[in-house]
Amino acid sequence: MSTEARYDRMLRDAALRVTRPRRAVLAAVHAHPHADAETVMTAVRRDVGAVSHQAVYDVLRALTDAGLVRRIQPPGSPARYESRVGDNHHHLVCRSCGAIADVDCAVGEAPCLTAAEHHGFEIDEAEVVYRGLCPRCAAAPVS
Amino acid sequence: MSTEARYDRMLRDAALRVTRPRRAVLAAVHAHPHADAETVMTAVRRDVGAVSHQAVYDVLRALTDAGLVRRIQPPGSPARYESRVGDNHHHLVCRSCGAIADVDCAVGEAPCLTAAEHHGFEIDEAEVVYRGLCPRCAAAPVS
DNA sequence: GGCATTTCTTGACTCGTTCCAGAATGACCG
DNA sequence: CGGTCATTCTGGAACGAGTCAAGAAATGCC
């Protein structure tokens, strides 16, 4: 099955209509892990030509709602999208360049940590963001 | 020592000039844990009258840089500020109303968790955000 | 092929935050 | 205490990221 057919299948299985922008956004998110909306937009336009920014936002939301895409919001960054869903993995974020890497969740499902004090909250997720310097920024002298 | 004198001391100890806006912002952040910039602005203006929004942003940044205030950026929320600094505590965030509560860090200093795979990153902090429903939203029927 | 619903287009708008030139002020020094 | 200098504040503009909304275009079903 071609990747295009695969994305079409994913869309249909999620009860979503199959449209060119949707195919293109799904492909872009798969091709560019942790891309922001602007990056997705650029990739989509390179792939299928003119697509409105509104359509890209709409499609990203529809795919996120359908569980085909995960939306993360690392501090200091615009929202980012990734195709790796359902395993509650965490992220490493570089303080300097913003690079993001995945970190497997030791538990594999949310919530994976227990708050010392839950203040009466019904906790259903624990998201961990590890911050530091990526190999490249750690090797470069601070300037 | 009055609270005002206490804030003046904190500012001087951090090598920051003592100005009315600065005193007021520091007081506002102490009085309103996890307040966003807008809330801080409102409190400051109620306290000392007209203060430009630029000044509030500038002061919040100066206080954060000086370590007197901590800036957090919970997903789906504007930046928030708190006076509780230095203990690497985490947060509980309500999915529904956005309420935030502190959670002590079991380790007390960063990084408090070890990533299963660090991808060559030099990790210096692990931030945990627990998400769920606060007692109030958990008790109210979804509508 | 027609129809109904959904999706996309186009442009405007909002929110939260930053930029910038110039005025005002705090702190230091004599 | 007054002068000076560097810093901070003011007022308005601007930006980035995302949302809103009316109408045109497209998908999928029958």
Could you give all domains of chain A from N- to C-terminal order, each with its CATH number? 3-72 (1.10.10.10), 86-138 (3.30.1490.190)
- How far does the CA of A27 sit from the C1' of D18, in Å? 22
Cβ within 7 A of any strand C atom: A 16-17, 19-22, 50-55, 58-59, 62; B 12, 17-20, 36-38, 53-54, 57, 61, 78-79
For B32-112, where are the alpha helices, taking DSSP H only? Answer: 37-48, 53-65
D chain positions with any atom within 7 Å of a protein CB = 7-12, 16-21, 26-28
Separation of alpha carbons B62 and B73, rounded Å? 17
pLDDT given for residue B4 in this prediction: 83
Considering all nucleic acid strands, name the nucleotide whose C1' atom is nearest to the C-alpha of residue A19. Answer: D27
Cα distances from A72 to residues A64, A67, A77, A78, B140, in angstroms, run 10, 13, 10, 9, 27
A82-86, B28-32, B113-117, B132-136: segment of lowest average pLDDT: B113-117
Q: Which of B77, B93, B112, B121 is the mutation pick for testing A, counting most A CBs within 10 A?
A: B121
| B3 pLDDT higher than 70 | yes
Instruction: Kindly state the percentage of chain A with pLDDT values over 90.
Output: 77
More confident residue, B104 or A107: B104
- How far does the CA of B18 sit from the C1' of D7, in Å? 11
pLDDT digits (tens, 9 = 90+) for A4-61: 889 999 999 999 999 999 999 999 999 999 999 999 999 999 999 999 999 999 999 9
